[in-house]
Amino acid sequence: MEGEDFVKQKISDKILSKVQKPTRYIGNEWNSVHKDPKEVEMRFAFGFPDIYEVGMSHLGMKILYHMLNDRQDVYCERVFAPWVDMEEQMRQHHIPLFALESGDPISEFDFVGFTLQYEMSYSNILNMLDLAGIPLMASEREKGHPFICAGGPCAYNPEPLAAFIDFFMMGEGEEVLNEVMDAYAEWKRSGGTRTDFLERVCQIEGVYVPQFYDVAYNGDGTIHHMIRTNEKAPEKIKKRIIKDLDHTYFPREIIVPFMEIVHDRIMLEIFRGCTRGCRFCQAGIIYRPVRERTPQKLLEIAKALNKATGYEEISLSSLSTSDYTALEGLTEGLLDLTEQEKINLALPSLRVDSFSLALMNKVQKVRKSGLTFAPEAGTQRLRDVINKGVTEEDLVKSVTLAFEGGWNNVKLYFMIGLPTETLEDVEGIANLAYQVLDAYFTVPKEQRNRGVNVTVSTSSFVPKAFTPFQWHAQDTIEQLREKQAHLKSKIKNKKIKYNWHDAPLSFLEAVFARGDRKLSEVLARAQEKGCRFDGWSEYFDYEKWMESFDECGVDPHFYTARKRPYEEILPWDHIDVGVTKKFLINESEKALRGETTPHCRQNCTGCGAAVFEGGVCFE
Ligand code: SF4
């Protein structure tokens, strides 16, 4: 039964009328790609393990979806996690999980590829495979079943998902995904076994086939060693990065959804990587070294995307926009376009220390939205520990500039539970918020905008793989709650609002962020119990998770509460991100001494990324 007919047959209006936001399930949006499945060699279902509005905001998916569809031999379609009401309808009416473009069941595809952006989406991946009727365990898949692959930042510790994923792609996908497609086309024509195909792809740089490795544990649960079980598989899997961003694929048209999505705008990726070296930040390490697109290339892309979408906003995306070397020149060029087109230009992540009022005034002529600053820690001592090279003076100077410029909504992002943190550091967060408020009242009444709002938001520190803090313990749920309550007790002014993250959720995220293969069984048990949409507080069921750990005889605190010795074999040690363990250990020790490390543009600190990429990071 043909795609749209299939959807129309199965997903009748009757069903769509029973679910929230039915637009999530109908596809056919502007710039979505439609091909005749019989005309292509490979069908790739790009899976985002969350709802449509979240997935459609993901830049990586936009890039790889259009890149694959620009190939004649591939038909790439999208699949998202159906919301709970739709899942209920699908199970009731025996409707397998289908792709948005054709409406065909994804179990009929050659590949189902998941992007791993957040550890709390893992239960959705298993639930989507279950809804699709695809065996959860890679070992139970046979000829005719799609190959399940995955990539994205969480893939840098792939082990908790090792039992479910046929192969992972480490690093940036543009080149490696095309190489995998080429290998698959050859394999499909050769008519080999699934193992033949996996032996082919495991020799492509960046591809990790977990079933070709075995892990042996010590009595205390730590890893004794990891061994290859297939000699075609590499000892170490080297991440892939794109050297020349200007000459790498970036779509000139993107899908424009019918419904509002989280990031509903043109996202212009100006560079990858970051030079700052904040010690809690995984992205700052795994995307090294820094590579920029030129303003000319970015302007050409912006013009094409504006023409193809009619979007009313362009936002510059990177890990630290104010570090882009040609920011003034780029914004000048973009402002000509945005003024002409009467659309908005958004500069999301600006560092506290380089906040330039002039730039913000230029950019937000059309509409002044709230400003966000991320001091991360409440005292200079702790900011030095995490190497967040900004000072109280920087923050007060920037917010004062902002208040003088007419802004009156300021968001301040912090983390609690950081290594070496004391209650004094937690109180420091309240003190900074009060200093920001005071800065507002230093601006003459006639110059400042009426009604100031300061929002303090604290996330809980989650130690991540490939960071200097990968060996550090996470605070317990009780300790995090104590600190949240302590901070709350210090913020008494109504003009300062305080939001905090749910400690049990951060605990579970930390378990999977540094977990090993023993967690696969727990994940499968939790999915059986109905755990899904764990990232959504209304569906996160901590008790069910703890039951699952219990029933599987796995202690989750083993992964969070222990300070790990530097000699311990870590579950992700078989992955090479360029940055060396020696550099991370050195940074960890400097953190404990409260010493800072200058950012790369000041001087190279020899993290290893340059050697990885053949020489220099910056000309
Ligand atoms: S090699 Fe040096 S310049 Fe390059 S990312 Fe590492 S520390 Fe920075």
Residue 225 lies in a domain: yes
pLDDT band at 2 (very low <50, low <70, confident <90, very high): very low
Residue 202 lies in a domain: yes
Ligand 1 neighbourhood includes 288 CB (under 6 angstroms): yes
For 205-247, the pLDDT digits (tens) are: 999 999 999 999 999 999 999 999 999 999 999 999 999 999 9
Range name among 107-111, 468-472, 609-613 with the lowest pLDDT average: 609-613
Residue 97 lies in a domain: yes
Ligand 1 atom with the smallest distance to the CA of 607 is 6
Residue 523 lies in a domain: no
pLDDT given for residue 350 in this prediction:
61
Closest residue to atom 3 of ligand 1, CA basis: 604
> How do strand 409-416 and strand 371-376 relate by DSSP bridges?
parallel
Closest residue to atom 2 of ligand 1, CA basis: 604
- What's the CA-to-centroid distance between 586 and ligand 1, angstroms? 14
- What's the CA-to-centroid distance between 120 and ligand 1, angstroms? 31
Closest residue to atom 5 of ligand 1, CA basis: 289
pLDDT band at 322 (very low <50, low <70, confident <90, very high): confident
Q: How far apart are the first and last CA of the chain?
A: 57
pLDDT given for residue 365 in this prediction:
52
Is residue 348's pLDDT more than 90?
Answer: no
What length does the chain have?
A: 619
445: CB partners within 8 A, 6+ apart: none
The token duo for 411 is: 């968001």
Residue 103 lies in a domain: yes
Query: In whole numbers, what is the pLDDT of the chain averaged over residues?
Result: 93
Residue 474 lies in a domain: no
Ligand 1 neighbourhood includes 604 CB (under 6 angstroms): yes
Range name among 2-6, 217-221, 277-281, 555-559 with the lowest pLDDT average: 2-6
Is residue 619's pLDDT more than 70?
Answer: no
Ligand 1 atom with the smallest distance to the CA of 273 is 5
Percent of the chain with pLDDT over 70: 93
204: CB partners within 8 A, 6+ apart: 176, 179, 180, 183
Helix (H) / strand (E) element for 10: namely: helix 3-10
For 270-303, the pLDDT digits (tens) are: 999 998 999 999 999 999 999 999 999 999 999 9
- What's the CA-to-centroid distance between 276 and ligand 1, angstroms? 10
Mean pLDDT of 99-106: 97
DSSP bridge partners of 576 = 238
Query: How many separate domains does the chain show?
Result: 1
Q: Which of 275, 586, 602 to mutate to test the pocket of ligand 1 (most atoms within 8 A of CB)?
A: 275
Ligand 1 neighbourhood includes 609 CB (under 6 angstroms): yes
Residue 429 lies in a domain: no
pLDDT band at 346 (very low <50, low <70, confident <90, very high): confident
Is residue 112's pLDDT more than 80?
Answer: yes
pLDDT band at 170 (very low <50, low <70, confident <90, very high): very high
Per the model's pLDDT, the better-predicted residue between 394 and 516 turns out to be: 516
Residue 228, helix vs strand vs coil = strand
pLDDT given for residue 1 in this prediction:
43
> How do strand 223-228 and strand 266-269 relate by DSSP bridges?
unpaired
pLDDT given for residue 84 in this prediction:
98
Residue 154 lies in a domain: yes
Q: Where are the alpha helices (DSSP H) in 31-148?
A: 52-55, 59-69, 84-92, 122-132
For 22-73, the pLDDT digits (tens) are: 999 999 999 999 999 999 999 999 999 999 999 999 999 999 999 999 999 9
Q: Which of 319, 579, 604, 611 to mutate to test the pocket of ligand 1 (most atoms within 8 A of CB)?
A: 604
Ligand 1 atom with the smallest distance to the CA of 599 is 8
Ligand 1 atom with the smallest distance to the CA of 610 is 1
Mean pLDDT of 138-150: 97
Closest residue to atom 1 of ligand 1, CA basis: 610
For 415-473, the pLDDT digits (tens) are: 999 999 999 999 999 999 999 999 999 999 998 988 999 999 999 999 999 999 999 99
CATH classification at residue 155: 3.40.50.2300
Ligand 1 neighbourhood includes 270 CB (under 6 angstroms): no
pLDDT given for residue 599 in this prediction:
87
Is residue 355's pLDDT more than 60?
Answer: no
Is residue 543's pLDDT more than 90?
Answer: yes
For 68-91, the pLDDT digits (tens) are: 999 999 999 999 999 999 999 999
pLDDT given for residue 20 in this prediction:
97
Other C-beta atoms lying within 10 Å of the C-beta of residue 153: 19
- What's the CA-to-centroid distance between 553 and ligand 1, angstroms? 42
Look up the domain containing 146 and give its range: 3-238
